Structure 1
Amino acid sequence: MSSTIHMPAPVCLIENEDSGTLSVRKEGKDILDRISGPVVVVSVVGLYRTGKSYLMNRLAGQQTGFALGNTVESKTKGIWMWCVPHPSMPGHTLVLLDTEGLGDVKKGDSKNDSWIFCLAVLLSSTLVYNSRGTIDNDAVQKLQYVVELAEQIKIRSPKSASEDKEVEENDQFVRFFPLFVWAVRDFTLDLEINEKKATEDEYLNFALELKKGVGRKISDFNLPRECIQRYFPSRKCFVFPSPASPENMRCLESLQEQDLVPGFLEATHNFCKYIFVKSAVKKLKGGHTVTGKMLGQLAHIYVKTINDGQVPCLENAVVTLANLENQAAVEEALKVYKNGMEEISSKFPVGMESITIVHQKCSSLANSEFMKRSFKDDKGEYITKLTEAIDTYYKDLQQKNEMASEEKCKELLKNLFSDMSERLQNGAYSQPGGYKVYCRDKDDLIAQYHGEPDKGVRAEAVLNEFLIERGPEANSILHADKELTEKDRKIQEEKEKAALLKQKCKEEEEKRIESEQRMLADQEHQQDIIRQLQEKCKKEMEQKQEEMDRALDSKLKEQEELIKKGFDAKAEQLEEEIVRLNKEKEAAGNFFKEYIMPLASAGLDLANKVQTQKAIQNVLTSFFKAL
């Protein structure tokens, strides 16, 4: 996979079939699957034949690409995608989504339009709404799809929602919805409000002002305006004069820049510059950065939900995506560990210290790789899977290292003993003084054995087995040596026993050191997990607080405008949301300080992996619930 990709032309990502069924096209998803880096997703929506595709082409740095068409027939069906390297953010991909025109007379199904609009909102980090003429009441009312969003998108699963009935769903949209840009095409009016020059943003805010009073008409007038203000955290407006004369509009794709109206070129330049600078990386609920691969999975999840007749839910989508990503994170992290251990395994047999050092380094790299990709592992399920997989693989390597050590040591002893074996067969030790010669040769053999390097972890154990096997042989030579008195034999027997006991102690010491190093390695691994989890949770908490800060900023601005315009009752209602958001933000921060930060010094029995993992799982479950 690559961090970015450059497509020569757009492809269809989501097909809108004649039956009204939506489907994710394999070609489009395959392209997204190859993008491992973060994506900035810009979607354009609006009535058909309003020039949406032209703006997308300009964002791609091209004159042509997305089909423009020059008739009243809608050219774009479904959602088309164009991925290009982001012009000002290295390593990021700009994903442009051109949607099917809303209100196509041939379609005759407004529900289908609503789902196209809904998908554009769910998938993008910036939503461009394209319209023609002016932002009058008719233009605002045509944006009825915004009003329907509360019915078509759910933030939380039914279970979560039932646990927290206090929070209204549509009050949460501002946390997760994209930046909203209104592009007004073929604008011919002077930007003036109350006979004073106004900016484009002031023009938009003026158009979205609420009316005071009660009644059905006022309610209908205010509803779409309230939804735009409430759902989208940031709003921007650009007005574009007509790009060319009416006769040239038919061949807009082939026109050179000198053939276009200067004012239109300037507006297009400002629009593109703003999108490149202000459009944020696409993030999930909870603040996790979306990659191209994840975007393709999200599209698949949302389309499947819609086709199943259900309402897309951000929380459910995040959970589904998290499970996919976390499993992939386990596999990638385990691959990092295995690749790292290949070098040491090729050198088997090695000492316990050597394999432990490499194991600690590789397991830490694997943990780091997992933390980079994983998110919302709220029960510690996947970090436990990774730990268990690493443990299993490490134990297998240790067994292979022990076998390699055992084979090498046995072969070494066999070679070293070959001369003694020949003397035994020739009867060199079966004569007076033979036992003394035998002992001298055996001591020389043991000294040579100890002098051989890189015997591995079974060196003393194999030597002990060898000496025990030679015991009857030595005893036979001892008792056959006529030069020795009975007293001498007893003294030698005691020496033999002492030597075997000493060798047994060496074997036990070898095992003790090995066991101790294994335990220390396990503790180091657990501590590394805890340390990296602390960093991970801190990042998750910061992302969550950024999400809430974004919502708070939007709510405070909205409240300020309401107070300024005299809507005191609505401003008071917003105050309750602001207080609730502040409490939620404070609670998440306090939980992190009280439970996550002290985790490493919480008196965990690091030698007991099961107990440590359970403690980590319990804290993670509580932490993500608090988030």
Structure 2
Amino acid sequence: MAPIPKISKPICLIENPGDKKLSVNEEAKKILENISQPLVVVSIVGPYRSGKSYLLNKLSGNSAGGFSLGHTLSANTKGIWMWCAPHPKKSDHTLILLDTEGVGDVEKADQENDCIILSLAMLMSSAVIYNTKATIDQDAVKKLHSMTTTHQYITEKASQADGPDVQTADGDHTLPLLVWTLRDATLKLELNGRPVSADEYLENCLQDITPVKSPRTQSQNKARKTIRKFFPKRKCFVFDIPSSDKETLSRMDQVSETKLQAGFTEETKHFCQFVLEEVPPKRLKGGMTVTGSRFAHLLQSYLDVVRRQDIGVLEDSLSNMFTSENNKGIKRSLEGYENKMSSQHVNSLQEFQQNHEAAMKEAKQEFNKSYVTHEKNREEYLDELKAILLTKKDEIWKMCEDSSIQRCNDIKAQLESRIQQSLNENKYHVPGGHKTFTNDKESAIQEYNQKPDKGVKAEDVLQDFLSSLEAMEKVILKTHQDLPDAAPKIFQVPDPNDSTQLTKYIQNYQLPHGPFSRILIQLFGFAGHGKSSFANSCLFTLSNGRFNDYAGEATSQGGKTMDRRAYKLTNCISIVDNRGFSKMNSAEEWEIYAQLCHFVPLNEIVSWNKNLDDRINLITQSALEPSDVIVPVLIYSSENSFAGNESDNIKEFLKQAQKLTGILPFIVLTKSKKAPRSTLKNTFSRMGMENVYCIENYILSDQLAQRRKHVNLLQVLYDILQCVNYHMKARSDFQNRRNDWLRFLMTKAGTILKT
């Protein structure tokens, strides 16, 4: 909320120059325009020299420097004067006090001016204080009725427009609260000898006179009925004479309350307490709370209403203001949407759409908070807001695309420059040049993919980049084929579902020149889950001959393999059938990692029960082959489900296998036809495994070659080779890796000893 502008004294709100028309004071209007808090507007009306300003000063809590108390017989307040201050009882509200010039000033040339001033006060107020003296007599009732005549005429016209059964107030707000203050009262509050309260006294004075015996009585009843109808909520306070001392009365704003009658000061406190606690905020039609800025907007309309006696003037002004308020709500919602969408980085259309839907939902909720009931209903405004947001969405998406293209093109230019430099240095048109180009291209792709915040056009720019390299690669490949010392022809697999292409690729696969000459596909898993059958199946698919049980297929749950057996698939690819898990406890776990790191010799019995010394000797005396690339593969039967803490143990093994070998393990789910596989596959995916395959092994009882079985098995081997190709680009130092393995197994051995 904006702070309330400080004013040192009351300021004229409605100017009444006497010989000219009433007008709004622009200085006071500017003060109101800067108040964003809801207003509680209290005005006071009544005869001049009746002590109105004193009561307002008490409400404001500012006796010194407040509303002026006149000491002569002429009216001191002209027009309507305003005082604004923080509301003492309602936080985040502003109290507006309006002091009107007194009625019955003999110096006025136009008595109709009284009606206009008082009607204005009633239009603008949450509560009207009617300040009279001595008693509530017929003259006081008549004066109050005459004050409401203009206002009554306006509201009756509004009622006629709405229909005869509709009771409306001023067409724009709830009916004001009437607080009748009876000053210098000496009467005893009794009715028919019974003591009554001030409120009961007021209600009795406003009841119809019965029986009606004359036109005069009928006129009096009409006035009372009008007041009851216009002020359905009423309150009365009766004040004693403040002091018997005339000097004290002439300067009440300057003397201490101790010099005033106790009854007067006590009633003044009750009056202030009631007004500050019970008078509600000023509201418009539909329940809209009036803030200072809205009040300022309506001032001229209020003035035009009482001049023309036409509520339509105010209705038009309210309609314009409600439209303006709702348009501001749309603008705020749009700004919130734009800020939220612009502050979030996205890398795909799906992300952008999700952000849009969330931001649009928030924008609609924000608009609903500020919506003002209007001829144009909420749904029409929401449809308008939605259309604006969709247009803004397209603009922001275009900005996302442009920003992403610029970012990605900058990255692409750097990578193209590197490849062009190698081309200029003739690194590609030489024996092995195509391999060099392929490695450089893959490295460029990897570097491109690792760059953060590329945005929504990353894939499109990458494809443009690859297309730009395609013509270059064709020329390099042609040169490479024509060279006498060129490397063997590289077989391509255009169709990954073609078993002939897959077989040819695997059979002719060669590792790049370097420290590695063999790939060891290491099979792990629980005994009886199909490791040996998988090894047999891979040998069968690549042999183009008869099925043979080389690995020794298990005939019962529990498996037969007790040692590590290696089977040669091609000149540079071997598949290793390791001894299967039993319980995967700490003893087995150490042997499993020793097999994985290739410390356990091939074709030798694997014992789970080695002592600490045997384990230390094994890993320190083993002569590792520095030329082996180890690929971990976990075999798991789809017929099984995890029991106990198996899931945690397997997850830990897969994590360590990747850390030790540098390659994310492959998962092969066997017997996939006999059990649902989606749940198990999802379980491994949640462990972070990217390569999960569902296959059927060839076994002794089912060795008839089938195309789909062949293709599934060959695709596993093909993907393993593609993974090796990817990792060969970042060749690691073998000796450092061997030292890491030694430290890992030594630590594991020590941990087992302690347990």
- Give the Cα separation in 2 of the matches to 1:340 and 1:155: 49
1:371 is aligned to 2:372 = no
Distance in 2 between the 1:173 and 1:182 partners? 24
Deviation at 1:434, TM superposition (A): 3.6
Summarize deviations over 1:456-506 as a string: whole Å, max 9, x none. 111101111222233333333334443489xx999769689x9xxxxxxxx
How far 1:450 moved relative to its partner? 1.8
Equivalent-residue separation in structure 2 for 1:300 and 1:350 (angstroms): 54
1:264 Cα offset (Å): 1.2
2:295 aligns to what SS in structure 1?
helix
Distance in 1 (CA, whole Å) between partners of 2:169 and 2:392 is: 48
Change (3 A) 1:39 1:72: same
Q: Any residues of structure 2 matched to 1:136-155 within 5 Å, and which?
A: 136-143=137-144, 144-153=146-155
The whole-number CA distance in structure 2 between the counterparts of 1:154 and 1:312 is 12
Distance in 1 between residues matched to 2:205 and 2:186, nearest whole Å: 16
Q: Indicate the residue corresponding to 2:123 in structure 1.
A: 122
1:491, 1:107 → 2: CA distance?
111
Corresponding residue of 1:111: 112
Would the aligned equivalents of 2:415 and 2:444 in 1 still touch at CA under 8 Å? yes
Aligned length: 488
- Report the 3-state secondary structure (helix = DSSP H, G, I; strand = E; otherwise coil) of the residue aligned with 1:252: coil
Native 8 Å contact 2:37 2:291 kept in 1: yes
Does the 8 Å contact 1:74/1:101 carry over to 2?
yes
CA distance in 2, matches of 1:170, 1:351: 57
Q: d(CA) in 1 for partners of 2:259 and 2:225?
A: 41
Cα 1:20–1:306 shift into 2, 3 Å: farther
Cα distance in 2 for residues equivalent to 1:309 and 1:220: 23
Query: Does the Cα contact within 8 Å between 1:40 and 1:94 map onto a contact in 2?
Result: yes
| CA apart distance, 1:3 | 6.0
> Per-residue displacement from partner, 1:301-359 (whole Å, max 9, x unpaired)?
22244456744666444323212222222333334444445543xxx575556655655
Alpha-carbon spacing, 1:313–1:214, altered in 2? closer, same or farther (3 Å): farther
The amino acid that maps onto 1:145 is M
Q: Aligned ranges for residues 608-619 of structure 1 at < 5 Å? A: none
CA distance in 2, matches of 1:437, 1:154: 95
2:454 is matched with 455
Greater RCO structure (CA 8 Å; 6+ sep): 1
C-alpha displacement at 1:446, in angstroms?
1.5
Q: Give the aligned residue type for 1:180.
A: L
Tell me the equivalent position of 1:186: 184
SS at match of 2:443: helix
The offset of 1:233, in angstroms, is 2.0
Residue 424 (1) aligns with residue 423 (2) = yes
Q: Which amino acid counterpart does residue 371 of structure 1 have in structure 2?
A: N
Change (3 A) 1:412 1:138: same
Secondary structure class of the residue paired with 2:62: coil
Which deviates further from its counterpart, 47-56 or 207-216? 207-216
Residue number in structure 2 paired with 1:406:
405
CA contact (8 A) 1:319 1:376 kept: no
List alignment gaps of at least 5 residues for structure 2.
Answer: 499-755
Structure 1 unaligned segments of length 5 or more: list them.
499-627
- 1:69-88 matches, within 5 Å, as 69-88=70-89
Inter-CA distance 262–279: structure 2 relative to 1 (3 Å threshold): same
Does 4-13 or 20-29 show the bigger shift?
4-13
SS of equivalent to 1:453: coil
CA contact (8 A) 2:170 2:311 kept: no
**SS class of match (1:77):** coil
The answer on whether the counterparts of 1:146 and 1:224 sit within 8 Å (CA) in structure 2 is: no
Return the alpha-carbon distance in structure 1 between the equivalents of residues 147 and 116 of structure 2: 9
Aligned with residue 167 of structure 1, among 165, 168, 185: 165
CA contact (8 A) 2:136 2:202 kept: yes
What letter is aligned with 2:178? F
Which SS does the other structure have where 1:13 is aligned? Answer: strand
- Identical aligned pairs, as a percentage? 36
What amino acid maps onto 1:193 in structure 2? L
Question: Is the contact made by 1:170 and 1:231 (CA closer than 8 Å) also made in structure 2?
Answer: no
TM-score of the pair, normalised by structure 2: 0.59
Check the 8 A contact 1:78/1:116 in 2, yes or no: yes
Distance 1:362 1:243, change over 3 A: farther
What's the offset of the Cα at 1:385?
4.2
1:364-416 Cα deviation digits (max 9, x unpaired): 44434433333014334544444344333333232222222111111112212
Shift of 1:360: 5.1
2:237 and 2:267 in contact (8 A); partners too: yes
Deviation at 1:117, TM superposition (A): 1.4
Structure 1 counterpart of 2:420, one-letter code = S
Deviates more, 1:325-334 or 1:475-484: 475-484
Find the counterpart in structure 2 of residue 254 from structure 1.
254
301-310 or 464-473, which deviates more: 301-310
The structure-2 alpha-carbon separation of the partners of 1:431 and 1:462, relative to structure 1 and needing over 3 Å to count, comes to same
State how far apart, in whole Å, the 1-side matches of 2:353 and 2:166 are.
53
Q: Which residue in 1 is equivalent to 2:328?
A: 328
Q: Which amino acid aligns with 2:147?
A: Y
Counterpart of 1:197?
A: 195
Deviation at 1:166, TM superposition (A): 3.5
Residues 197-255 of structure 1 deviation map (CA, whole Å, 9 limit, x = unaligned) = 11101111111110232642122111111011112121111111222222322222211
SS at match of 2:55: helix
- Equivalent residue number for residue 2 of structure 1: 2
Which secondary structure does the structure 2 equivalent of 1:406 belong to?
helix
Please list, as runs of the form range in 1=range in 2, the aligned pairs for 1:161-560 lying within 5 A after superposition.
162=161, 164-168=162-166, 176-212=174-210, 213=212, 215-244=214-243, 245-306=245-306, 310-311=310-311, 315-341=315-341, 343-344=343-344, 359=356, 362-377=359-374, 378-380=376-378, 381-483=380-482
Distance 1:79 1:179, change over 3 A: same
Question: 1:42-64, CA deviations, whole angstroms, 9 ceiling, x for partnerless residues?
Answer: 11111222111111110001214
Answer with 49-58 or 399-408: which moved more: 399-408
Call closer, same or farther: CA 1:351–1:8 in 2, change over 3 Å.
farther
Question: Counterpart of 1:515?
Answer: none
Structure 2 SS opposite 1:253? coil
TM-score computed with the length of structure 1 as normaliser = 0.71
Cα separation, partners in 2 of 1:391 and 1:79, compared to 1, 3 Å: farther
The one-letter amino acid paired with 1:146 is: T
Task: Indicate the residue corresponding to 2:136 in structure 1.
Answer: 135
Letter of the 2:75 partner, please give it.
S
Query: Is the CA contact (8 Å cut-off) linking 2:329 and 2:370 kept in structure 1?
Result: yes
Secondary structure at the aligned position of 1:456 is classed as coil
The Cα shift of 1:102 comes to: 2.1
Counterpart amino acid of residue 216 in structure 1: P
* Structure 2 contact 123–170 (Cα < 8 Å) conserved: no
Classify the secondary structure of the residue corresponding to 1:181: strand
- Name the SS of the counterpart of 1:12 in structure 2: strand
Cα 1:178/1:11, change in 2 over 3 Å: same
Between the aligned partners of 1:369 and 1:416, the Cα distance in structure 2 is 46
Superimposed CA distance per residue, residues 436-462 of structure 1 (whole angstroms, 9 cap, x where no aligned partner): 432332222222222223211111011
The worse-fitting range, judged by mean Cα deviation, of 90-99 and 474-483 is: 474-483
| Deviation, structure 1 residue 284 | 1.0
The 2-side partners of 1:283 and 1:329 are apart by: 19
Residue equivalent to 2:539: none
The answer to which of 178-187 and 140-149 deviates more is 140-149
